[in-house]
Structure 1
Amino acid sequence: MGFAVFHAEKITASGASLGAHIDRQEGQEHTYTNADPKRKHLNKDWAITLHCQKPLHTALSDRIKEGYTGSTAIRKDAVKGLSLIMTGSHEEMKTIEKTPDMLKKWVNANYKFVEQEFGKENIVRFVLHLDEKTPHLHAVVVPIQDGRLSAKKVLGDRIEMSKRQDRYAQLMEPFSLSRGIRGSKAIHNSEGWYIGQQQAEKEAILSDLPKMSLKDRLNPSGYEESVSNQFKV
C-alpha cells in the first residue's frame, strides 16, 4: 500500500507563475520543465466555477471581490489563495492512471474532498497533470469563509491540519493509498514530493555539466563555451 499526499501552500504573490505552471502556458515553459510535451494532451481541467476559466491572478482577485464582505481594505501581503497538490506514491498512482474508471473515481474523490473542505465557490483551479512523472492534481482555492479572507481560519491550527490529513487519507483508502507517518517530513507526507522532483531534475542537469578544472578557472570563457556546446542540438 502506498501513501496519500495532500499538501497545501499559501499564495501571497499574484499567482501568475503558479498559473503558468498549472495551465501549461505557452512561452512560460520554464515553469514546468519536468513536463513531457508529448503527454501534455493527457492533462485535464475542470471549470468548477467561472473563475476557473480566467488567468489565475485574475481568478484570485475576482473571487476575493465577489466573496469578501469585510469593511477594511485587504493587505497587500495577505494570503490570496491556497495551492493544493493531491497525489500519492508513484507506483500506486501509475496503477490508478492505467485504469480510466479508477482514475475517474480518484479524481472525483479528490474533488469531493476539496469541495467539502474549502467550498465549491472558492475553487479557481482544478487540474489533472499526467505529463509529469507521477500523476497528480492541482487545485487552487481562495480562503474565504463567512465573508472573511483568512487562510489561518480556513486551514486551522496544527491539530485541525492533522485531522484534515486523516480525512483525506480515509477517502484515499479505496485506491490503496494510506496516511503517512504523523509529523514526518518524508517525501510522501509533505511538499517534499514536489521539491524532490525539482531537485532530481536539477541534479541530473548538473551531473551532465563538464567538470571545471584549474585551467577552466583561469579561463572561464572557455569553460562557458564547453558548457554551451554540451547542450547544442
Structure 2
Amino acid sequence: MAYAIFRAEKIKSWRLLKNASGHMNRTVPTPNADLSRHNPILSGSGNPDADVRRHIIDAGLDPSKLRKNGVIAVRLLVTASPEYFRPGRVQNAGEWDKDQLDAWLPRAQAFLQKEFGDNLVSSILHLDESTPHIDAIFVPLDRSPRKKGAPVRLNCGRWLDGRAKLRALQDRYAEAMKPLGLQRGQQGSRARHTEIKKYYGTLKFQAEEAKEASAITALAMRDAVTKQQAAKQERAKAEALSTGIEAYCDGRIIAATGTEAKPTFKVRKMTPEEEKRLIDKIKPAWFDLWRTVRRLSALVERKAEAARKKVFESVRGILSAAQQVQSAAASLGNELTATQSARQTVLKAALNKLGSQRQNAPSSPEK
C-alpha cells in the first residue's frame, strides 16, 4: 500500500535556514546521499538561503529587523512511500521507476504552486537519497488586507496555525495524489513519520550532523594542506635539480616559456643575478644529493662488510675442516708406519728363529 507523504518544519533563525539550505543544495556533507546523481532545481536559484532573503527584501521588509523567534520560512518535504516509486522492490534504496516519478512530479509541483504561490521560493528534486522527494521552502508572507498594521508581514499562522491546518494541508496533498493510487496515512500515526526520518530527519538533527561533518572536513582539509606543503617542497627540489641540469658550464641556460602543448625554448647567457639565484637553488638540492650518496655508500659498505665477514667465516670453516682432515691423515700415516714396523720386527724374529732351528737339528745317519 502506497502513501502520500507531506511534512513541514518551521525555520525560526537565519542559522537554521543556512543549515537547511546547505543540506538542500548539498554544500554541506550529506552522508546518505549519492553525490554522483544530479538533483534538478524546480524553482528558485538553487540557493534557498539567498532566495528567502531576496523574497523578504522585495516585500519591503528588513531581514535584520524581523521579530525574534518568529518563523521566517517553512521547509517542506513532499514525496510518496517507497512502495509507489519501486513496487515490489521496497528494500532497494536509491531505485525508482521513471514512469512512476514522471507521473508524480508534475502533480506534486503543481500542488505546491497552488498552495503557496509566489511564496514558494525554492524547490529541489532530490534523487540522490533512498527515495525521490521534493525539498522545498516557502516564506509565510501574508498580504491579505487588514485594518491595522503593515500590509505585508510574516504570518506563518495563516498556513500552519496548530495541527488542524497542517492536517488539512496533508489531506489536500493526499487528495491531489489520489489519481496515482496514493492514499492518506492514518491521522496522528507516527509510523510514516518515522520512516521519513530515515532519509530526511528534523532540522535539529541535520544541524548537528552538519556540525560533525564540518569537523571531519576540517581535519581532512588540514591533512590535505600538510600533504600539499610536502608536495611543494619535493617539487621545489625537483625544479632546482632540473634547473641545474639545464645550466651549461659556460654560463648558458635554456629558457622555456609557453604552454605544455606549445613550448618555446631559447638558449641565452645568464646574468649575474640569475647565476646567484641558480646557485642558491642548486645548493640545497646538491647537499640533499650528497647526503643521499653518503647514505647509499654507507649502505653498500655495510652490505659489503657483511658479505666479506660471511665469506671469511666460510673460508675459516673450510680451512679448519682441511686442518682436521690433514691431522687425521697424519695420524693415520703414523699408525700405518708403526704397524709396518711391527710387522717387519715380527717377521725378522720369525726368520731368525727358523734359522736357529735348522742349525740345531741332528743330521741323519748315512746308509
TM-score normalized by the length of structure 2: 0.46
Structure whose CA Rg is larger: 2
- How far off is 1:123 after superposition? 1.6
The alignment partner of 1:65 has SS state of helix
Where in structure 2 are the equivalents of 1:177-192 lying within 5 Å? Answer: 177-186=182-191, 188=192, 190=193, 192=194
2:5 is matched with: 5
Structure 2 residue 112 is matched with structure 1 residue 134: no
Alignment size in residue pairs:
183
The secondary structure found in structure 1 opposite 2:198 is helix
Q: Which residue is 2:97 aligned to?
A: 98
Gaps of 5+ in 2: 88-94, 144-151, 202-367
How far the C-alpha of 1:198 sits from its partner, in A, is 6.7
Contact 1:6/1:87, CA 8 A, preserved across alignment? yes
CA contact 2:46–2:122 (8 Å) conserved in 1: no
Where does 1:70-219 land on structure 2 (aligned, <5 Å)? 73-95=65-87, 97-100=96-99, 102-119=100-117, 121-146=118-143, 147-186=152-191, 188=192, 190=193, 192-197=194-199
Using CA pairs under 8 Å that are at least 6 residues apart, name the structure with larger relative contact order, 1 or 2: 1
Q: Secondary structure at the match of 1:24?
A: coil
Residue type of the partner of 2:186?
I
State the Cα RMSD in Å.
2.4
CA shift digits 1:7-26 (9 cap, x unpaired): 0100112211111111122x
> Offset of 1:54 from its aligned partner?
5.8
Partner of 1:60: 52
Distance 1:84 1:59 in 2: 15
How far does the alpha carbon of each residue in 1:178-220 deviate from its partner, in whole angstroms, 9 at most, with x for none?
100011112x2x3x33323378xxxxxxxxxxxxxxxxxxxxx
How far apart are the structure 2 equivalents of 1:17 and 1:111? 23
Q: Structure 1 residues 22, 78: closer, same or farther in 2, change over 3 A?
A: same
Contact 2:25 2:46 in 1 (8 A): no
Q: Deviation of residue 110 (structure 1)?
A: 1.1
State the AA in 2 paired with 1:18: A
Runs of 4+ in structure 1 deviating by more than 4 angstroms, as ranges, are: none
Judge conservation of contact 1:84–1:140 (CA < 8 Å) in 2: yes
Cα gap change, 1:57 to 1:136, in 2 (>3 Å) = same
Partner of 1:21: 23
Could you tell me how far apart the structure 1 residues matched to 2:40 and 2:185 are? 27
Q: Which residue of 2 aligns with 1:45?
A: 41
Q: Rate the CA distance shift 1:156–1:77 in 2: closer, same or farther, 3 A.
A: closer
How many angstroms apart in 2 are the aligned matches of 1:6 and 1:62? 26
CA contact (8 A) 2:103 2:180 kept: no
Q: Percent identity?
A: 32
CA gap 1:127/1:65 in 2 versus in 1, 3 angstroms: same
Distance 1:161 1:198, change over 3 A: closer
Q: Which has the higher helix share?
A: 2
Deviation of the 1:69 alpha carbon = 6.2
Alignment check: 8 A CA contact 2:159 2:165 kept: no
5+ residue gaps in structure 1?
200-233
CA gap of 1:195–1:82, structure 2 versus 1, over 3 A, is: same
More deviation, 157-166/109-118: 157-166
8 A contact 1:34–1:132 mirrored in 2: yes
Task: Show the counterpart of 2:227.
Answer: none
TM-score (norm 1): 0.70
